[in-house]
Structure 1
Amino acid sequence: MTHVLAIGAHAGDLDLTAGAVLAQHVLRGDRATLLHLTLGERGHPRMTVADYAKQKREEAETFADRIGAGVRFLDHEDGLLPEDDETKMRVGDIIRELRPDVILTHWSASIHKDHARTHRIVEDARFYGGLKTLEREHPAYWANELYYADN
């Protein structure tokens, strides 16, 4: 059984770019998990940030439920995603915990700064996740395959 971890900057990003791939894996009996680093709550021109955050979280949870995937959220703000060691370690810890065979994330040259940052965060988090000399709660784990999507 393969486990696919899709890591996106905003709730909805990897749903749109890789949702069909994730659903296909689940239908084959594999596991899929979506990790959203922000909710993308500043992306609506008329809704308040709080209302849109609530809607985005509900949409992400519904999508994951409908395709049979797991879903997780980090608590960073849309447009202000920090590219720091703390964030990279948190994502690395999730990689160690979930032990995915495949990671999907954003392409490096995306026009959106949160997408480009997520690309670099995931690259470093994968390294930290696999670093055996870095002691964390879960044992080191190297995810063998890393693929990119862009929206």
Structure 2
Amino acid sequence: MPSGLVISAHAADFVWRSGGAIALHASEGWDMHVVCLSLGARGESAKLWRQEGMTVDRVNAERTDETHRAAEVLGANLRLLDHGDYPMRIPEDTILQLADIIREVAPSFILSHAPGDPWNFDHELTSRVAQEAQIISQAKGHNPDMPSAKPVPILMYEPHQPENSGWRPDVYLDIDPVFDQKRKAFACMDAQEWLWEYHTRVALQRGNQAWLNSGRKITHAEAYQTLFPRVVSSFPSI
């Protein structure tokens, strides 16, 4: 079956920013995979840290449970690498591991963060790591006993403040058929409850833009920016 891969900085990023894409493709029989580099325990779990006596171990346990439940709702296979956050540091071994995951999964597309997010250096780093791993996965000399990967599109999902991040969407995905499913995944991420309504509003805004750009009645959408040029056989396929 065809497959897709999401490389997410923190435990909830794949839910907010690409949950619709994951659920939509999973519902169509795709084998969807998510790799989280971090649980977001230090910088993305403020609600948990307000509880008296909270510890990093308890936060990690809560975020692990939330993330597994959200991935199950969306229909994704999940890998948690947990390199920590705020700050995140990714060793070379992990980049090579991601390159091998790309070869193993053989995705038709990769979804990840966009560069240029001045409010979240973990997102910026993950963007570079995902891109570097994708390039390494094609290198014949990397792990030569494993078949090298083919070039695949990288679609960069929406940063928190796109107007200040240099991000410009050029792909809109209609997620109306699975938006209720995406909202159920939101509800799994209790540590960031304040983002449930925020990303619902984002989906409505992008849905309106998708409607205006297509003439189709679309209420909820996700937006992406392509990293590499698309190669087509005819312009109607754009």
TM-score, length of structure 1 as denominator length: 0.91
Per the alignment, residue 141 of structure 1 pairs with 149
1:1-151 pair list within 5 angstroms? 1-42=1-42, 43-45=44-46, 46=49, 47-110=54-117, 111-135=119-143, 138-149=146-157, 150-151=159-160
Offset, 1:62:
0.7
- Give a deviation string over 1:30-49, Cα, whole Å, max 9, x none: 12111000111113332422
Q: Percent identity between the aligned chains?
A: 29
Unmatched 5+ stretches in structure 1? none
- Aligned 8 A contact 1:92 1:125 in 2: yes
In structure 2, how many angstroms separate the alpha carbons of the residues matched to 1:85 and 1:98? 20
8 Å contact from structure 1 (residues 88, 121) kept in 2: yes
Q: Which runs of 5+ in 2 are unaligned?
A: 161-238
2:83/2:90 contact within 8 Å kept? no
List structure 1 runs of 4+ shifted beyond 4 angstroms. none
Partners of 1:137 and 1:148 in 2: how far apart? 30
Q: Is the 8 A contact 1:127 1:142 kept in 2?
A: no
Between the two structures, name the one with larger relative contact order (CA 8 Å, sep ≥ 6). 1
Tell me the CA shift for residue 83 of structure 1.
4.1
CA contact (8 A) 1:103 1:143 kept: no
Q: Cα 1:136–1:84, aligned 2, differ >3 Å: closer, same or farther?
A: farther
1:93-135 CA-partner distances (Å, limit 9, x unpaired): 1111111111000010122011000000011100111111222
**Greater displacement, 18-27 / 137-146:** 137-146
| TM-score where L is the length of structure 2 | 0.60
The CA RMSD measured in Å over matched residues stands at: 1.6
| Structure 1 residues 93 and 44: alpha-carbon distance in aligned structure 2, compared to 1, 3 A threshold | same
Q: Deviations over 1:35-82 (max 9, x none)?
A: 000111113332422111111111111111122210001131112322
Residue 88 of structure 1 aligns to a residue in which SS? Answer: helix
Higher Cα Rg, which structure: 2
CA separation in 2, counterparts of 1:49 and 1:143?
39
How many positions carry a matched residue from both structures? 151
CA contact 1:99–1:143 (8 Å) conserved in 2: no
Distance 2:96 2:115 in 1: 19
